[in-house]
Amino acid sequence: MQGNTLSRWLAAALLAASQVAFAQTKEVTFAYQDMLVPFRTVIDSGELEKTTGYKINWRQFGGGGDVIRAMSSGDVQLGEAGSSPIAAAASQGQDVRLFWILDDIANAEAFVVRNGSGINTWKDLKGHKIATPFVSTSHYQLLVGLKQAGINPRDVNIVNLRPQEIAAAWERGDIDGAFVWDPALARIKKTGKVLGTSADFGQAGYPTFDGLVVNAKWAADNEAFLVALVKAIARADDTYRKDAAQWTADSGPVRAVAKWSKADPKDVPAAIALYRFPTLRQQISPAWLDGGAAKALGDTAQFLKEQGRVQEVKPDYAAFVTDAYVRKALAR
């Protein structure tokens, strides 16, 4: 009798231990940035935790380069990064997959120079102190702009600052210009002029986007979570597209975006309008996950190699892009 009791106790203990272990696997650290996008309403609502049962640790990072480094160390399983840091990660052999286009950056990033700095054109930048988050899409576009203007980057004092640091440095008068995104962009525009936007570089053959990337091994073990994630983001984007006029400074969605991005609510509506958010169907089109994104990553990597930012360019970046989770979301 005692043997049976002991056996039952051991069985119950093993079951409890396995359940704890399973629960522990349903946890993820998600790296997000301060871009002003509808996805912030999903974070604020807690709906993803409710629908998936996962514990999600939302960690804010200052730039895509920081996100990629955190993923490389294993501290983060998935997160937001621009096309430039994603291209760099893939080129370095990091086992990541781009699975969602968070936004087409369009006009949402810009190069601004300080009023009174004496800078009127790109050719005036020599000797001036310009800030941008290194290994970001803004950094990439700054280098493109310098190349197009025939300026050696070494002739410009380019400093690595995160967006919030850029805004603070600008207000102190420490920098003459910056290439960055909102909410920092809105702050520096007040006393500066725009010399170029991400849309300008996109039209010139250097498109940029922000995407969601995930550790490939983690993705293979957590497919259902990723499908739920893209469905939730697609719903948030669709809500914005349909009711953009209702996203005013005092509205619930805008307050949620401002809260998570540390922005002034009054700056949010105009900032969101600068982006383009691909639908589920558009995600799997040749323009994005079915070819276009891989080509953009390859072209970006080639440019970064020319600039000495990466050592190797992969023959094909399609291996680092997947539309599997979007397709499954559409099928359910």
- The pLDDT of 7-17, averaged and rounded, is 48
What does the block give as tokens for 5?
Answer: 């009791």
pLDDT at position 9 = 52
pLDDT the model gives residue 332: 80
8 A C-beta contact, residue 157 and residue 128? yes
| Mean pLDDT over the full length of the chain | 93
- What is the CATH number for 174? 3.40.190.10
Which structural domain, as residue segments, surrounds residue 113? 109-203
- Assess whether 230 and 99 both reside in one domain: yes
Specify the 3-state DSSP secondary structure of 36.
Answer: coil
Same domain for 325 and 213: yes
Q: Are residues 121 and 220 in the same domain?
A: no
Domain boundary residue, one of 203, 221, 246: 203
96 and 114 assigned to the same domain: no
> What single DSSP character describes residue 271?
H
Is residue 198 domain-shared with residue 235, that is, in the same domain?
A: no
Average pLDDT over residues 124-136: 96
Question: Do 98 and 219 belong together in one domain?
Answer: yes
Beta bridge partner(s), residue 109: 181
Residue with tokens 């980057």: 153
Q: What is the pLDDT of residues 49-88, one digit of tens each?
A: 999 999 999 999 999 999 999 999 999 999 999 999 999 9
